[in-house]
Structure formats: structure tokens, C-alpha cells
Amino acid sequence: MISPLAYVHPEAVIGENVEIAPFVYIDKNVIIGDNNKIMANASILYGSRIGNNNVIFPGAVIGGIPQDLKFKGEETTAEIGDNNTIRENVTINRGTAAKGKTIVGNNNLLMEGVHVAHDALVGNGCIIGNSTKMAGEIIIDDNAIISGAVLMHQFCRVGSHVMIQGGSRFSKDIPPYIIAGREPIAYSGINIIGLRRRGFSNEVIENIHNAYRIIYQSGLNTTDALAKVEEEIEITPEIQYIIEFIRGSQRGIIK
């Protein structure tokens, strides 16, 4: 399953049933789990940790050193979970002293040319479109859909079940369950179709919709709007997540 034309460092740890194509480069201090397929010309560099059942397409580079001038060669990792599809020319840098690791969770699709910078945290079940670029220390919660050519500023967070319009750029957080689009980027309603596809009930969707009507359309400042949400909307786990996400935002949310 390992091509004689691939380079695999003798200290690399390779699991069972791993297919490694010609011209793949696998560095030392790399651990690769079972049932992975690594296509030609992919590079798995120092500090990479790859789980099981992933498919890594040609030209992908995992574990490259951070594009951060503060990086001084510290021991860090780039950690990929299970069941991910990592398409052509995706780059996933390893962490810095800030967090020590970059993490991509499980069941994600990273399309061609995606960049995941140092110390980023990508959750589970996300779809990230072609040529989208994520700066250092960003967070993407589970089941987000980010379209192509999106630019994400460092330290930003994207909530679960969000859909972001292609070509967007943003430097503030995007709270969960919404569609974000237009230029400049703004709240464009809740992601009703996505929520229905994920099995959210009509009652839950209506609660989410009512919460965002208060947050975005009441004319109240964020603090007062959240207080009104707590007074008027049933506090289900979804509403609690919205409240905690916005209250915990360090950069503020898009308007």
C-alpha cells in the first residue's frame, strides 16, 4: 500500500491499511492512523497527527510551520481527526506557543486551496469552500458551511449551522444558526433550510428566529437585546448557546 516512490521517514508511525501514493513525503514525528488514503505529491510534515479514514488529495500540505514571525521552532502539532476529505492544495499549519496545536475535527470537507492557519480550531461536520483562507487562532463550530473565497480574520469565531456567502470577508464573530452575506458582511436571516435538513423542529427554528429578531431588529444594544431574549424566549439549549456565544465574543458580532 506504500509506493516505493514515496518517502516515509523511518520514525513515522503508520497505521494499518494506509494507501500512500507516489511522491508523497511523510516526515519524522508524524503519526497516521488506519485506513487513510494519501494521494500523490501530498506532504505530511513534522508534528502532524492524522486519525482514521481520511482522504488527502494531491498537493495538500499538513503540518507546515506557522506563517507567524513569533514562531521560534517550538514543538507543536497539526491534528486531523477522522473521516475528513482534504482536497487538492489544502494547507494546514501546525500550532505556535499560543495554543500548541491546530485542530481539524471529524467528518469535514475542506475543498481545494483552503488554508487553515496556526492554532485554528475547526469542529466537526463543516464544509469549507474552495480558496477560503482562515487566519490564526480562529474557531469554527460544528456543522458550519463556509462558501468559497471567504477571508476570515484572526481570532474570529463562526457558530454552528452557519452559512457564509462566497467571497465574504469578516473581522467579527458570526453567531450560530444564521446566514451571513452581502457586502459588507451582515446578518441575512437564519439558516432555515440548513436547520431543517439537520432535523431541527419548527418550534426550535421559530425560537431561534424570534431570538434573532430581538438581537438584530429591535434597535436595542447587544446587552439589552440579550436580556430581552432571556425574558421573552424559552431558554432551550439552542437559545442558551446563542446567548453564551454573543456574550463571550471578544471581537463583537457582525451586524
What is the per-residue pLDDT across 121-168, written as a single tens digit (0 to 9) for each? 999 999 999 999 999 999 999 999 999 999 999 999 999 999 999 999
Distance in angstroms (rounded) separating the CA atoms of residues 121 and 92: 11
Residue at 180 is within a domain: no
Give the three cell numbers for residue 44.
505530511
In a domain, 70, yes or no: yes
Long-range contacts of 141-146 (CB under 8 A, 24+ apart): 141/176, 142/105, 143/198, 145/194
The arithmetic mean of pLDDT across residues 187-215, rounded, is 97
User: In which domain, by residue range, is 209 found?
Assistant: 195-247
- What is the per-residue pLDDT for 16? 98
Confidence of residue 117 (pLDDT cuts 50, 70, 90): very high
Last residue of a domain, which of 103, 137, 171?
137
At residue 234, the 3 state secondary structure works out as coil
Catalytic, 136? Answer yes
207 is a domain residue: yes
Question: Has 142 been annotated as catalytic?
Answer: no
Model pLDDT, residue 151: 98
Asked if the structure places residue 188 within a domain, the reply is no
Q: Are residues 125 and 35 in the same domain?
A: yes
- Of 82, 105, 118, 129, the catalytic one is 118
The CA distance from 171 to 192, in Å, is: 24
Q: What is the mean pLDDT of the chain?
A: 98
**End of a domain among 96, 122, 137?**
137
Last residue of a domain, one of 116, 137, 158: 137
Q: Are residues 200 and 133 in the same domain?
A: no
- At 188, list the grid cell: 441575512
Task: Provide mean pLDDT across the span 43-50.
Answer: 98
- 63 inside domain: yes
In a domain, 164, yes or no: no
Reported as a pLDDT band with limits 50, 70 and 90, residue 254 is very high
- Tell whether 147 is covered by a domain: no
Strand partners, 133: 115, 151
Alpha-carbon span 179 to 40, nearest angstrom: 37
CB 32 within 8 A of CB 62: no
Segment 222-241 mean pLDDT: 97
Distance in angstroms (rounded) separating the CA atoms of residues 144 and 124: 9
Q: Say if residue 96 is in the same domain as residue 203.
A: no
Residues 124 and 16 in one domain: yes
Active-site position among 27, 82, 119, 173: 119
Count: domains in the chain:
2
pLDDT class of 100 with cuts at 50, 70, 90: very high
Catalytic residue, candidates 105, 123, 136, 159: 136
pLDDT at res. 124: 98
What CATH number does residue 233 fall under?
1.20.1180.10
- 169 and 151 Cβ atoms separated by less than 8 Å: yes
Look at residue 153 and tell me if it is in a domain: no
Q: What is the pLDDT of residues 61-97, one digit of tens each?
A: 999 999 999 999 999 999 999 999 999 999 999 999 9
pLDDT at res. 238: 98
Distance, in Å, from the CA atom of 115 to the CA atom of 40, rounded to the nearest integer, reads: 19
C-beta separation of 166 from 148 below 8 A? yes
For cell 481570532, name the residue.
155
